Amino acid sequence: MDKGVYRIIDANLNRVMEGIRVCEDISRFASDNERLTRKLKDLRHEVFNSIKDLRNEHLEELVSSRNLNDVGIPSTKSEKNRDNLVDLFLANTQRGKESLRVLEEVLKLFEQELSQKFKKFRFKLYDIEKTAVKELESIRDSG
């Protein structure tokens, strides 16, 4: 596998896990929403467990492919500002959905079955986001 493919997988797996974790912590600590917290935690574990074999098999390649001089590291202006916790939650669900889509597409190159799992994870996150928007309205002004 090409080093660029390893970088794409590693970066997007980290991104999706981080994004879901931010959402999980908002629902857990800011809104005390047990049901939403559980959904996010379950999804985070599903994503991690689904790629565990690939990570174990290619861990050295994935980690060594990281580049701290990545041309995409600097944040854009919109990434630096969040209006409230709901905005923060939505920015991170978007981050997660985008990363799941990238993983779905890249995995088509060599793991079609795993690619389809990531498609299902993306749609789970869409569903969680839809439910969360209604449930998180009570914390909109607390950000």
pLDDT band at residue 15 using 50, 70 and 90 as cut-offs: very high
Give me the pLDDT at residue 143, please: 47
Asked whether residue 2 carries a pLDDT value surpassing 90, the answer given is no
Tell me the average pLDDT of the chain.
87
DSSP string of the chain, one letter each residue: --HHHHHHHHHHHHHHHHHHHHHHHIIIIIS--HHHHHHHHHHHHHHHHHTHHHHHHHHHHHHHT--TT-TT-SPPHHHH--SSHHHHHHHHHHHHHHHHHHHHHHHTTT-HHHHHHHHHHHHHHHHHHHHHHHHTGGGGGG-
pTM of the model: 0.86
Interval 49-108: pLDDT, tens: 998 888 877 767 777 776 767 666 666 666 668 889 999 999 999 999 999 999 999 999
Output the pLDDT for position 59: 64
Q: Write down the pLDDT at residue 139.
A: 66
